[in-house]
Amino acid sequence: MKRLATALILAAALLVSLVPLAHAVHWKTIEDKHLVVYYQKESLGRAALRLAQEEQKRLIRFFRYKPSEKIKIYVYNDPLAFRMIAPNRKAIGVARPFSSEIAVLAGEELRTTISHELVHVIFLQSLPSLRGLPFWFAEGIAFYLSQPRLVQVDLERYALRGDVRHIEELSGNLSPEEEGKAAAEGYLITKFLAEKFGVQKLRTMIFFMQRGKNFYAALQASTGLNEQTLDKEWHNYGEAQKKLGSLRELRFFGFLVIALLAIIVSAYWLIKIRKRLLVEEEDLEGDQ
């Protein structure tokens, strides 16, 4: 689980690799009107096409944007071959939004990985410009919409490790490790926005961005928050989540102590009852 979460997070570092995504593998293809899936294992190719169709439909509806060309999806089942095109050793997905290509390493959470990379393609293509788009939001929205059910808890715990950071610390020049953390934090900030204002407000904000507003102008127009107030609110939310997390752990610990006590107490009574029965039996034998 932990490994998978980190892998998903590091799938984040994606827009950088310049190697062709169809690296030296003999591909077969399967396609429909909007997608071409490149695969080696037939069952995987079919599964990937079905998942991608479902996710693409959902995402096109969310972003109100339909890509103009077919999206190519390379499904690798050999980790070594995937390493040749991956931006880093832990990545399990790569997106090349402006050539409408994604590559994924088949494994657990294939739907989440395909969905995450599809968000990158559809969302980024839908914007007139990427200027001023914070890295944390590009990743945050991809994680939020790809619904990483299995790894969600790990992702949140990872985001809250250490101090809750300021939003301006999540952009700029980040190392791959820092990018992974910033992506997880971006996920939590996006989740916070969706919880506080509702998913519709998130869509309105994206709609404003698609109409040419930069990120913070769109945020302010839809939620009333600016960079400073978002930072403050996120900080409070992050701190509260951290407390909740330790409370949850404390509650588990408390439960453990109560359970242990219950076992000790019932063992004590069992011994006492048995002793009493033995005495009564002896008494009975004595009477006879």
Residue range at the interface with Zn ion (CB under 5 A); choices 7-15, 124-132, 170-178, 203-211: 7-15
How many residues appear in the chain?
A: 288
Smallest distance from the beta carbon of 138 to Zn ion, in angstroms?
A: 7
Q: Which is nearer to Zn ion, 206 or 225 (CB)?
A: 206
**Tokens 């127009």, located at residue:** 221
Q: Which one of 57-65, 140-148, 220-228, 255-263 is the stretch in contact with Zn ion (CB under 5 A)?
A: 140-148
Give all strands of the β-sheet with 35-39 in edge-to-edge order: 28-31, 35-39, 71-76, 101-105, 93-96
Q: Coil, strand or helix: which one is 174?
A: coil
Residue 160, interface with Zn ion (CB under 5 A)? no
* Closer Cβ to Zn ion, 60 or 124, answer by number: 124
Contact window for Zn ion (CB under 5 A) among 135-143, 167-175, 197-205, 246-254 = 135-143
Assess 142 for contact with Zn ion (CB under 5 A).
Answer: yes
5 binds Zn ion (CB under 5 A): no
Return the residue matching tokens 């709609």.
Answer: 207
Query: Under a CB-based contact definition with an 8 Å cutoff, are residues 223 and 194 in contact?
Result: no
Nearer to Zn ion, 116 or 223 (CB): 116
Burial 10-41 (b: 16+ CB within 10 A, else e): bbbbbbebeeebeeebeeeebeeeebbbbbbe
Interface with Zn ion includes 102 (CB under 5 A)? Answer: no
Report the C-alpha gap between 89 and 56 in whole angstroms: 27
Which window, 28-36, 128-136, 139-147, 190-198, contacts Zn ion (CB under 5 A)?
A: 139-147
Give the end-to-end CA distance of the chain in Å, rounded to a whole number: 66
User: Measured between alpha carbons, how far is 115 from 200 in angstroms, rounded to an integer?
Assistant: 20
How far is 178 from 254, CA to CA, in rounded Å? Answer: 35
Nearer to Zn ion, 121 or 225 (CB): 121
Can you tell me which of 7, 8, 10, 12 binds Zn ion, judged by CB under 5 A?
Answer: 12
| Closest chain position to Zn ion (CB) | 12
Question: How many residues bind to Zn ion according to rule CB under 5 A?
Answer: 4
94 touching Zn ion, by CB under 5 A: no
Q: Which stretch binds Zn ion (CB under 5 A): 131-139, 152-160, 237-245, 261-269?
A: 131-139
User: Which residues make up the interface to Zn ion (CB under 5 A)?
Assistant: 12, 14, 139, 142
